[in-house]
Amino acid sequence: MSLLVIGTMAFDAIETPFAKVDSIIGGAATFITLSASFFVQPVNLVAVIGYDYPQETVDDLDRRGVNIEGLQRKTDQKSFFWAGKYHNDLNTRDTVATELNVLADFDPIIPNSYQGTPFVLLGNLTPSVQMQVIERMKDRPQLIAMDTMNFWMDIALDSLLETIKKVDLLTINDEEARQLTGEFSLIKAGKKILSMGPKYAVIKKGEHGALLFYEDQVFVAPALPLEEVFDPTGAGDSFAGGMMGYLARQGEVTFDNLKNAIIYGSTLASFCVEDFGPRRLLTLTKDEIRQRYLAFQQISAYNQTLI
Ligand code: AMP
């Protein structure tokens, strides 16, 4: 089944404790579509880019089964720009700059051919634009998932809360879950998110895995203990892309499918962090995804013996 994705397509400036890059392709939708295209095609993209976003990347996405009919290019404006600096633990970062540019007046036009897409992933961007996408889908999709970040909590909390009410699944990282709910305990935070509207909540914990909340159940997914993390940028988006790509491939939302989806999401995220920006996703193969997916079970499998 197909998947509709909206999100930023950007240039990023990234500084980690080991390296620095002043300009590299990024943005939530770039990571999401690259990750999701391993699982499902077409991935119906809705996004906006400026004159500076490389056509080769757009052509590459097209070749990978990403439908670019809903991609708008503004020839008189620059693409969204984000600069971030990671702390020594690589799990936390500061946003150094956010320049909305083309995003400031983005009108997300949904092509007719996208109507009826059963799975929708509202990647990180302006909450009111995420809401417009929900409103512009003529039939209610089977599953609407949404990702967000602290930037939008700081500048657009009311419209963010309105949008959260309308989605089935929210993915959010640990720090942001605490900010959104005012709860330090992630278990309490997850439960509180479920009371805000979504049926499912996923809290991403960087190198410590992810938590899935549904009714009164919690599923704990590990993260692979990687020896080297080069650049965490896009890990959350790759996670969301892998997760929703798998769900759209399966076509059915069950708690069991969601558990697998989260392991696939973690798999994609674990590759993403191995190189700057989306570079590693560009060389990734399905075989590598399969092998690492299997490794997730091995790292926490053991034979139980009761004392
Ligand atoms: P992640 O590391 O998965 O949280 O995603 C990082 C990506 O999100 C970067 O490539 C940025 O271009 C993009 N990004 C940063 N800030 C925002 C924002 N406020 N809204 C949407 N996308 C953003």
Nearest CA to ligand 1 atom 21: 125
Tell me, what's the pLDDT at 137? 98
The pair of structure tokens assigned to 138 is 């003529």
Q: How much distance in Å is there from the Cα of 116 to the middle of ligand 1?
A: 27
In eight-state DSSP terms, residue 116 is T
Give the rounded percent of residues in the chain with a pLDDT score beyond 90. Answer: 92
Q: What are phi and psi of 201, to 5 degrees?
A: -135, 140
Report the range of poorest mean pLDDT among 3-12, 171-180, 297-306.
297-306
pLDDT tens digits, one per residue of 194-242: 999 999 999 999 888 999 999 999 999 998 888 888 999 999 999 999 9
Q: How much distance in Å is there from the Cα of 90 to the middle of ligand 1?
A: 15
Ligand 1 close to Cβ of residue 82 (< 6 A): yes
Average pLDDT over residues 5-19: 96
Burial class (CB in 10 A: 0-12, 13-18, 19+), 26: buried
**Which residue is associated with the tokens 């392709």?**
25
Tell me, what's the pLDDT at 227? 83
Ligand 1 close to Cβ of residue 233 (< 6 A): yes
Helix 255-272 vs helix 286-300: angle between axes, to the nearest 10 degrees?
110
Q: How much distance in Å is there from the Cα of 272 to the middle of ligand 1?
A: 14
Give the whole-angstrom CA distance, residue 97 versus residue 81: 8
Nearest CA to ligand 1 atom 6: 234
Tell me, what's the pLDDT at 48? 98
Average pLDDT over residues 79-100: 94
* Positive or negative torsion for Cα 18, 22, 25, 28: positive
Give the whole-angstrom CA distance, residue 192 versus residue 198: 10
Report the range of poorest mean pLDDT among 5-9, 92-96, 175-179, 186-190.
92-96
Ligand 1 close to Cβ of residue 235 (< 6 A): yes
Q: How much distance in Å is there from the Cα of 157 to the middle of ligand 1?
A: 17
Q: How much distance in Å is there from the Cα of 69 to the middle of ligand 1?
A: 23
Distances (CA, A) of 68 to 59, 64, 204, 265, 287: 9, 11, 29, 23, 26
298 in helix, strand or coil?
helix
Nearest CA to ligand 1 atom 9: 27
97 in helix, strand or coil?
strand
